[in-house]
Amino acid sequence: MTDLELRPIDRTEFPAFYRTLAEVFGETVRDSDRERMGTVFELERSLAVFDAGEIVATAGAYTRDLTLPGGPRPVAGVTVVSVQPTHRRRGLLTELMRRQLTELHQQDREPVAALWASEAGIYGRFGYGLAARMLSWHGAKDRLRLRRDVPLGSGRVTLMSPERARPHETAVYEALRPTTVGFLTRSDRWWDRRLADPEDQRAGATPRRHALHTEQDGTVTGFATYRTKQEWSVTEGPQGTLRVEDVMATTPGAYAALWSFLAGIDLHPRLTRYLAPLDDPLAQLLADPRALHAEVSDSLWVRVVDVGRALAARTYRVPVDVVLDVRDEFCPWNAGTWRLSGDASGATCERTSDPAELTLSATDLGAVYLGGPTLVQVAAAGRVDGAAATVSAVGLAFSGEREPWCPEVF
């Protein structure tokens, strides 16, 4: 970092900040994209590395709530991390991560940070653990049929303009958010960004379509958003693709009815679905389990910034009382022994001199924090020291009833 300056940017420097980010990610620099990013970007939480006045590395964070076991809690949504190719292998990324996490700790801000990783091998060395995964569905839509015994309810699916659909989609999302681990708060500005539909980002597909599921009493209980991209073969006919984006519902019947509607869209024999939950109920609805193929990939990575506050911020599936020895070289204020006591109503986590019952790294603590990967799985990889019975009991306490799911890349 010799002769380099690391600091937040001001408003006049935002265009250069955005340009660096776009160039590193191989994207076309567009004023429209910069303006959309600027509607949610938090200048005071930005970090940039300057070399002779030029921005050569970037990072930032969004102030949002993330639903944990027990409900929504503040999280630092780490984002826009980049380093110019001219300045790689010089420790800039490490300094950005260190500065960001140290400030979170020193300023008593969010006790947890979370991010989506552009490359999965990057963030483990900074203490982030893989806390949630996602599914991507793809396959033959013309074979997509639901089992005959699947109840579809008595509601109906209708298409609606984006403007008319938005308040209903917001209501469904808000009904799910308090109890769906991995969901993030969405202000009006975040909904604006989420629903933005610029033509240059459609990859040749149609504008986004909005389908709502409405009960007989008029209550909207689910929605789906999708695009289509048509291709034709002279000899084989339509070869288009249905690109499903969101499918959310507050009842099983609405969820099944939305998928029944999507399966009935003609002229598009292929289907893709990105950002689906790892335990997507769709797998249990299909008459032909081979109609769609699922690919698993990482989604949220979680960093426990302050062990005591972070572990006290969530609830636990069954009562737990355990002394943890946490290893953390990158954030040394976390290292040492902590007594965690909690249950489904709340928890405390404080320093203790009592002997440790389990030893694990902050990275692995982040991995199990949302209740996705279990402590038993982490221990099976040789990353937890402790009696098998203790690992099992504590793992059950950390686990969730459903897999964590974050349906939004930030």
Residues known to be catalytic: 123, 410
Scored b (16 or more CB within 10 A) or e, 57-68 reads bbbbbbebbbbb
Give every CB contact of residue 52 below 8 A, 6+ residues apart in sequence: none
Burial status of residue 290 (CB atoms within 10 A of its CB: 0-12, 13-18, 19 or more): exposed
Spatial neighbors of 341 by CB under 8 A, at least 6 apart, are 320, 321, 347, 348, 349
Pairing of strands 220-229, 209-214: antiparallel
CB-side exposure of 312: number of CA atoms within 13 Å? 12
In angstroms, how far is the first alpha carbon of the chain from the final one?
28
Record the tokens describing residue 14, joined without a space.
């935002």
Which helix (H) or strand (E) segment holds residue 310: the answer is: helix 307-312
